[in-house]
Amino acid sequence: MLKLRWDNTVGAARLQKTAEGALDEDDGLETMVLLSLFTDAEATPEELAAAGLVEQRGWWAEAAQLREPDRPRLGSKLWLLAREKTRVQTLKRAELYCLEALAWLKTVGIAAAIEVLASVPRSGWLGLEITITKPGQLKSKW
């Protein structure tokens, strides 16, 4: 898979290049977490209505016709929070959406435990501290 690294200056993940200028590859946990959190998961009609949205989002490759039935779903519903005010309930929903999006890491044995703490580092921002404990290893924190 192509290597991604989060860039706080633009608020998005960026593809990484090798020293020679080619796209870098990565089988690491950071890229898997970024793809899981920042790929849009499809929302239910009730979730759309609660968020005051009408347009569905989601990654095209998650369509039932394309996705292998035994493959875990990819993506999160963090996009539903874009218009939300930063309240305690919004932070709790962000934590829940992250845990749901990362649950597949536990299912396939990449992670033994996942912890998420949402915060507001400054006005208009959502901060996510994610701690992943690998099986038989120490915690990795982002």
DSSP one-letter string for 31-59:
HHHHHHHHSBPPPPHHHHHHTT--S----
Whether 34 shows a pLDDT value over 70: the answer reads: yes
Residue 95 half-sphere exposure toward CB, CA atoms < 13 A: 16
In 3D space, the residue among 63, 103, 53, 58 whose CA is nearest the CA of residue 77 turns out to be 58
Distance (Å, whole) CA 58 – CA 12 = 17
Highest mean pLDDT among 6-20, 27-41, 56-70: 27-41
- Please compute the mean of the pLDDT values over residues 97-117 and round it to a whole number: 94
Instruction: Give the mean pLDDT of 41-55.
Output: 87
Cβ neighbours of residue 37 closer than 8 Å, sequence gap 6 or more? 76, 78, 98, 101, 102, 128
pTM: 0.78
- Which of 15, 67, 22 lies closest to 41, judged by CA? 67
Helix (H, G, I), strand (E, B) or coil at 109: coil
The segment with the largest mean pLDDT, out of 53-57, 62-66, 111-115, is 111-115
Q: Output the pLDDT for position 52.
A: 86
Residue with tokens 């597949």: 104
Q: pLDDT class for 67, splitting at 50, 70, 90?
A: low
pLDDT at 65: 63
SS3 96: helix
